[in-house]
Amino acid sequence: MNSCIKNYIFDLDGTIINSSEEVLLCFKKAFDLSNVVIDESRLSTDVIGPPLIDIIKLIAPDLNDEAKINLVMQNFRQIYDNDENDISCFYDGIFEFLQKLKRENKKVFLATFKPMLPTMRIIKKMKLDMFDDIYTIDKFGKKITKSEMIEDIVNKYALKKEETVMIGDAITDMTAAKQAGVIGIAALWGYEKNKLKLAEVTGLSIKDIRDLECLKLKFQTT
C-alpha cells in the first residue's frame, strides 16, 4: 500500500456500537408478541449482523409459516424502531476515533444492513453526526448489498480504492470489501464468532481501537 487511508467506511452493529443486548431483547419481545415459541439459547450475538429475515431464520430455523415470519418482522420493527430506552453503547474508543478522523478531514461513511429509520434514530441518540453519507439496506427504496453500498460510495465521491477501507465485524463486510476492490479490515471486537475465518478473508484484522490507530499509521508511513 503506497497511500495512506483517506476514506473510511464503517459497519454499525458490532463495529461502532454494541447493540447486542438491545437487539436480542427486542427479538424476544417480538417472538413473544407473535406467539412464536423459540429456543432462547439461540438468542445470542452469533445471529446479529445479517438482514432481519435471515436473523429470524437463525433464531427460529423451524419456523416456515410465512405469515408468522412477517408478523415477527413487523413486531420487531415496531418495537426496535421506536425504542426510546435503547441500551446500545459504543465500543471503547470508537467514538473518539471517529471524531479524530473528522478533525483530520478524512471521509467517513456508514454502511449498514439496518433500515434507515432505526439507523437515524441511533445516529441522533448517540450523536453520530460525523458521517459524510449514510448507506442503509433500503437507501434506494430496494434492498442493496454491502458491496453495492461500497461501490456507490466510491463512485459517488470519486474515491481512490487503494485509499479506502471497509471496517466491519462480519465476513459479509470483508467479502463485500474484496468484491468492491477496497481494503477490508476485520474488527475482531464485534459479533463475528469465527475470527480465524474473518482474518483469512480480509488479510487484515484488528482487536481493538488502538490497533486500528496503529494500522492507520502503518499505512501512512508505508
Tell me the per-residue pLDDT of 175-193, one tens digit each, with 9 for 90 and over: 999 999 999 999 999 887 6
Tell me: do 101 and 65 sit in the same domain: no
Which of 81, 108, 126 is the last residue before a domain boundary?
81
Q: Is the pTM value of this prediction over 0.75? A: yes
Q: What is the pLDDT of residues 204-222, one digit of tens each?
A: 999 999 999 888 888 877 6
- Grouping H, G, I as helix, E, B as strand and the rest as coil, residue 170 is coil
Within-domain flag for 1: no
Residue 107: Cβ within 10 Å count: 19
* pLDDT greater than 90 at residue 64: yes
Indicate the SS3 state at residue 205. Answer: strand
Q: Is residue 2 part of a domain?
A: no
Radius of gyration of the chain (CA): 17
| Straight-line distance from the first to the last Cα atom of the chain, in angstroms, rounded to the nearest whole number | 7
> Quick one: pLDDT at residue 1?
43
Q: Which domain holds residue 167?
A: 7-18+88-221
Give the whole-angstrom CA distance, residue 7 versus residue 162: 9
CA dist., res. 171 & res. 128, Å (int) = 24
The total number of structural domains in the chain stands at 2
Q: Is the pLDDT of residue 51 over 80?
A: no
